[in-house]
Amino acid sequence: MTKAAKKMQRKVKKAKMQRKVKKAKKRLAETELKEKISMFSKLENSCLTCEKPFDKQNKEMVQSWYVVVRKGDLHGASALRRGEDRVNLYCPECWSKASNIVVTDDSKWTSIDWEKIKEEINAEKS
């Protein structure tokens, strides 16, 4: 086989591999999108912290509220041990307060004291 033929063969193999990788990435993206869409049905109807109502039909709310998905393989609540994902929903106000508490507190990102945040929100309402 000539050098030119070998070079062409390598190019063909490289192109085949690139197509395989591209297909695999596309399949992975489609799977992830399906998982995220199925999670939307697990959303609560209110903020986990302040219980402010959440309207799934309101585009502005859907885009501005924060969703945290805890994967089932993490240790913690019993539902998580069984391999179920947990979907938590937070309004922008509660999220910003939690972010401020985490940023101003020198502790690590190990956990957020949502009870403390609930108390602050209730104190502001009063």
Considering only CA atoms, which of 92, 91, 87, 90 is closest in space to residue 41? Answer: 87
Query: pLDDT digit string (tens) for 36-69?
Result: 788 777 888 899 889 999 998 899 998 999 988 8
According to the model, what pLDDT value does residue 112 have? 60
For the chain, the structural domain boundaries read 1-41, 44-126
Residue type, 10: R
Whether the model pTM is above 0.75: no
Number of Cβ within a 10 Å radius of residue 100: 12
Q: For residue 120, what pLDDT band results from cuts at 50, 70 and 90?
A: confident
Residue 93 has pLDDT above 80, yes or no: yes
Q: For residue 80, what pLDDT band results from cuts at 50, 70 and 90?
A: very low
Q: At what angle do helices 92-104 and 114-125 cross, to 10 degrees?
A: 120
